[in-house]
Amino acid sequence: MSRADHMDVAAYALGVLDEHDTERFEEHLATCWACAAELETMVPVVGLLSDIDGETMTALEHTQTDPALLDRTLVAVRAHRRRARFRQLLATAAAVVVLGGATGIGFAGVTGDSDPPEVRADPTITAPVGSPTTTRTSAPGDPGLGGPEQPEGEQTNVIDPSTGVQATFFVASKEFGTKVNFTLGKLPGPRTCRLVVVRKNATTEVISTWSVPGGGYGTNTNPTILTLSASTSARVNEIKQFQVQSVDPNGVASPLVTVPL
């Protein structure tokens, strides 16, 4: 871009450039911060000149005013007609200046010498959530909540063949989603566990977490069965399965028992 292009700022502000030169200068203005800043300083002057009405200009044309001064005044009136377009382009140019400043700040932040902040993320579910490898059973000896009154909902009894963990789930549909009451037995400890909902669309949700003491639950050391309840916004017909997972100190999860619906 030549030096003349940078000197067109005043001519453009007053509206004396022809259509071709106007378009060429506007293309230059969109990438030149210096011209954009200079153009912004001319706003008050152009605003004052644009307030001159047509009657005043007609009177001036019939006076013996200095021709050069008269020409400049007539130019200001023409600039008034272009003021809407000028303000729109000025806003674009100002945005270029702001964007350039913001980009510089961002670059400085990336290349700075300060230590980056520590970022910690919650552990993700790493256990497989495919088809369950469990056995359904409804024998009288299956684990259950016990007592004369059973919780509402459809009952499912599962014993995982790999871990031996026993689970009984009562799943009930609610206005808010789904409520689940469940018991766990043959669950060794110590460990941290969580209950995960696996939806049919392959999304997952952790809806409960708990700690298992060293004696476990439903074991020879501690024969007490663990009884818990949880809820989720997912509808029953949206749920593929529930999965009880063991989570190690590094946040890595492994399945203990899977309860399909």
> Is 115 part of a structural domain of the chain?
no
How confident is the model over 129-185, as pLDDT tens digits?
444 444 444 444 454 454 556 788 999 999 999 999 999 999 999 999 999 999 999
Specify whether 139 is located in the same domain as 247. yes
> Is 73 part of a structural domain of the chain?
yes
Please, which contacts does 18-21 make with residues 24 or more away whose CB atoms are closer than 8 Å? none
Specify whether 159 is located in the same domain as 76. no
Specify whether 85 is located in the same domain as 188. no
Q: Where are the beta strands (DSSP E) in the chain?
A: 135-136, 154-159, 166-174, 177-185, 191-199, 204-212, 226-232, 239-247, 253-260
> Is 128 part of a structural domain of the chain?
no
Dist. CA 165–CA 114, nearest whole Å: 50
Specify whether 170 is located in the same domain as 105. no
Residue 197 exposed, middle or buried by CB count within 10 Å (0-12, 13-18, 19+): buried
Q: Report helix, strand or coil for 125.
A: coil
Dist. CA 10–CA 28, nearest whole Å: 14
Specify whether 149 is located in the same domain as 251. yes
The answer for residues whose C-beta is within 8 angstroms of residue 70's C-beta and 6 or more apart is 60, 61, 63
Specify whether 81 is located in the same domain as 147. no
**Amino acid, single-letter form, for residue 72:** R
Q: Which two tokens stand for residue 222?
A: 């501690």
Alpha-carbon torsion angle 56, 67, 85, 49, nearest 10: -50
> Is 114 part of a structural domain of the chain?
no
Range 105-117 average pLDDT: 45
Specify whether 181 is located in the same domain as 140. yes
Q: Report helix, strand or coil for 53.
A: coil
Roughly how many angstroms between the first and final C-alpha of the chain, as a whole number?
71
Specify whether 80 is located in the same domain as 144. no
Q: Which pLDDT band, with edges at 50, 70 and 90, does 120 fall under?
A: very low
Per the listing, tokens 């350039």 go with 100
Count up the domains in the chain and report the number. Answer: 2
Print the domain residue range for 27.
Answer: 3-109
DSSP 235: -
Please report, for the domain that includes residue 139, its CATH number. Answer: 2.60.40
Residue 60 exposed, middle or buried by CB count within 10 Å (0-12, 13-18, 19+): middle
- pTM of structure: 0.47
Choosing from 94, 109, 124, the residue where a domain stops is 109
Specify whether 105 is located in the same domain as 166. no
Mean pLDDT across the chain, nearest whole number?
Answer: 74
Specify whether 62 is located in the same domain as 172. no
Specify whether 151 is located in the same domain as 200. yes
> Is 117 part of a structural domain of the chain?
no
Residue among 183, 140, 177, 136 at smallest CA distance from 160: 136
231 close to 180: Cβ distance less than 8 angstroms: yes
Choosing from 61, 94, 109, the residue where a domain stops is 109
> Is 105 part of a structural domain of the chain?
yes
> Is 119 part of a structural domain of the chain?
no
> Is 121 part of a structural domain of the chain?
no
Specify whether 255 is located in the same domain as 142. yes
Choosing from 75, 109, 143, the residue where a domain stops is 109
Q: Which two tokens stand for residue 104?
A: 């510089």
Q: Which two tokens stand for residue 153?
A: 């909902």
Dist. CA 228–CA 180, nearest whole Å: 9
The answer for residues whose C-beta is within 8 angstroms of residue 63's C-beta and 6 or more apart is 70
Strand order in the sheet with 239-247: 204-212, 191-199, 239-247, 253-260
How confident is the model over 51-108, as pLDDT tens digits?
555 555 555 555 444 555 545 655 654 565 566 555 655 555 555 444 445 444 443 4
Range 187-203 average pLDDT: 96
